[in-house]
Chains A and B, each alone.
Chain A
Amino acid sequence: MTRRWFIVPVIGTGTKGDPYRVKLSIAHSALIPSNPDGTPRFNWALCLVSAMDFAALDADVEVEPFPGVSLDDQLSSIPAAARNRIQTALINRGVDLTGIDLNSTVRDVVERVVERLDARLDHRKMQVPE
């Protein structure tokens, strides 16, 4: 099993039969901050996903994969097309990428996503089975 990070749409209506959740049916941990009334603050979430095969997820146009094998990978090591895709996706979601450059790591970008969602949270606390 491999673990990778994704930006995934939040679906559902918050009911027992249709809970707010990410659009995933495989093992994951999702960062879904709530409004005081329990509704999701955003219509997307940061997800750590564990799977043997990510082909279906990579093919889903609604899901934005974080490029790179590990959080320590520098953005300069990532093909430009993949880098540009996630950059556009994050800017469209209001993530502040000021100061992020080719010397930044995937971790630096993930931390900016967490700051956008809820600065009190910590991506290091998200864990799924390997």
Chain B
Amino acid sequence: MTQLASDDFERAALGANWSTISGEFAWFITGSSDATANGSDSSSNYSAIDWPDDQWAEATFSAIPIPASAGAGAGVATRCDPTNSARTYYRHLAGANGANDSCIGKLVGGSYTQLALASNQGWVNGDVVRGEAQGTDIRLLRNGTQVLSASDSAIAGGDPGLTFSTSTTGDPQFEDWAAGDFATANAPTKRSHGFKLQQMADAEDDGKFNELDVRNWWCEAFA
């Protein structure tokens, strides 16, 4: 699992690395420290790099809203349509502990489907909300522990981001955000170039190679 991008929001404006999802409002920076959204459905995708289809995104709440209905809350988005020509992405939402505080949904061409829902999962300010989209496995995690998981194939790829779905009491704030892939650590691979140790001859001619034969060794470069 590799982190491919992050943002601590320690500046005045969200800037060019972020785009706004079609048909929604943009997230913005408050107090030169946190990302926030205000009163309306808001989603921004991190568009500065090309993202792998299998991806995760996570953010740390510095203000957590209270969902007023199922499907409301704030969190991260995955597989946002990078062209922003259609309102298409997965929502991984959380809200302050209580009714309907955890939700996974999808927007496909602007049509909203709620895939999974749970209540009373203990969310508090300071928690890390994480969304994962790996193949058809769509997950919501709280502080690294899975809360909900759905199976869906509607959206194959796109950008990760931030998302807010009204109606809530209070607006969300996140103090940081990160996203990445599920690639495993590099496995050893066959070398395509380097040096090969060669021996010219057994200097002592005794059928054994030892320190006395070292003068007959040399390195040969290959590619």
Contacts and interface: CB of A to CB of B under 8 A. Distances in A.
On whether the two chains bind one another, the answer is yes
Interface of A: 12, 14-16, 19-22, 24-25, 27-34, 36-40, 50, 118, 120-123, 125-129
Interface of B: 41, 70-71, 88, 104-119, 121, 136-138, 146-154, 165
Given A20-B113, A37-B108, A118-B153, A127 B71 contact: no
A92 B110 CA distance: 31
Nearest to B110: A38
Nearest to A35: B108
B74 to A, nearest CB: 15
20 contacts: A15-B112, A20-B114, A27-B119, A29-B148, A29-B149, A31-B151, A32-B152, A33-B154, A38-B108, A38-B113, A121-B152, A122-B136, A123-B151, A125-B136, A125-B149, A125-B150, A126-B150, A126-B151, A128-B148, A129-B121
Given A27-B119, A29-B116, 15 more contacts: A19-B113, A20-B112, A20-B113, A28-B117, A29-B148, A31-B152, A32-B152, A33-B152, A33-B154, A34-B154, A36-B109, A38-B110, A121-B153, A126-B149, A127-B149
Nearest to B104: A29
Contacts of B121: 129
B113 A34 contact: yes
A39 B123 CA distance: 31
A92 B149 CA distance: 28
Given A121-B136, A122-B137, A129-B118, A16 B152 contact: no
B70 A25 contact: yes
Contacts of A38: 88, 107-113, 154
A28 B116 contact: yes
Contacts of B152: 31-34, 121
**Which of the listed residues B105, B115, B148, B165 has the most CB atoms from chain A within 10 Å of its own CB?**
B115
Contacts of B71: 19, 21
A34 B115 CA distance: 11
Nearest to B155: A34
A125 B147 CA distance: 12
A19 B136 contact: no
A34 B89 CA distance: 13
B151 A14 contact: no
Contact of A14 (B111, B116, B119, B148): B111
B90 to A, nearest CB: 12
A129 B109 contact: no
Contacts of B112: 14-16, 19-20, 38
A20 B111 contact: yes
B113 A121 contact: no
B117 A32 contact: no
Contacts of B150: 29-31, 125-126
A120 B154 CA distance: 11
Contacts of B118: 27, 50, 128-129
Contact of A120 (B41, B136, B146, B147): B136
